[in-house]
Amino acid sequence: REGFSSRLTAEGMVLLATYNRFHSMLIGPAAARACCDSFANGTTLFMPSSYLNLPLPGKGDQQREGAPTKQPPAPSRLARWDASGVTVPRYFLLVVLSLTGLSTLLGLTETIDASELTPQDPVQGKASWSRLITSPDAGADPRLQVTPEATAYIAHARGAHAVRLVRRFEYVFWLVGLRVAMLHYVSLNERGEVVRRDGKDELHLVEVYHGPFAWGSLRPKPKGE
């Protein structure tokens, strides 16, 4: 039901379950708008897994997650996949043209992961992953990894000191032979605090996809092969 799926938390944050419907490409317009709006202040990268085969940048261009950003990665290396400014019409156009929405509607989409990093426990002093759906046997596909260069790119694009991963989603759209990972990052300032603009976290989206029409290679190879 649209009224249920589009509910927000008291803090105005989109629910993990709503993001799951958004990324599995089967959601109503109102909830889709809430998801699109949550990325309005951030950067969106939409990249094929082949981006991992690009020549490696110089040592000065690499950045680990959570580390401060000093210089941008090699100029324009990832800019070709910058899809910032996600709108509801663009989202539904992708749903239709990619046939991913049809895949989910027909029950031919497998959810590998839909999880969120919860805030730090004041007693334990550490955060933990809250998993809506997970398939540990399937495992995260290494072909869909987000490199330090990509996190450096999204941090530099908005002038952030660093970024931190807060949510992760992964799906196999069997109808079209497509495997996709969607990761959410928030910007951090020099004190390690989440950057907020217009009352919302500065949220970034990085999508990496493998395929399409590669049914035989949608499962990652077992370790050791």
The pLDDT tens digits of the residues spanning 99-154 come to 999 999 999 999 999 999 877 655 556 777 777 776 655 556 888 989 999 999 99
Per DSSP, the chain holds a count of helices (H) and strands (E) of 6, 8
Q: Which amino acid is at 48?
A: P
The answer to whether 176 touches 212, Cβ cutoff 8 Å, is yes
Which pLDDT belongs to residue 124?
58
Q: Which residue has the higher pLDDT, 67 or 30?
A: 30
Helix (H, G, I), strand (E, B) or coil at 19: helix
Q: How confident is the model at residue 183 (pLDDT cuts 50, 70, 90)?
A: very high
Q: Which residues contact 84 (CB under 8 A, 6 or more apart)?
A: 42, 43, 44, 157
Helix axes of 29-38 and 88-98: crossing angle, nearest 10 degrees: 110
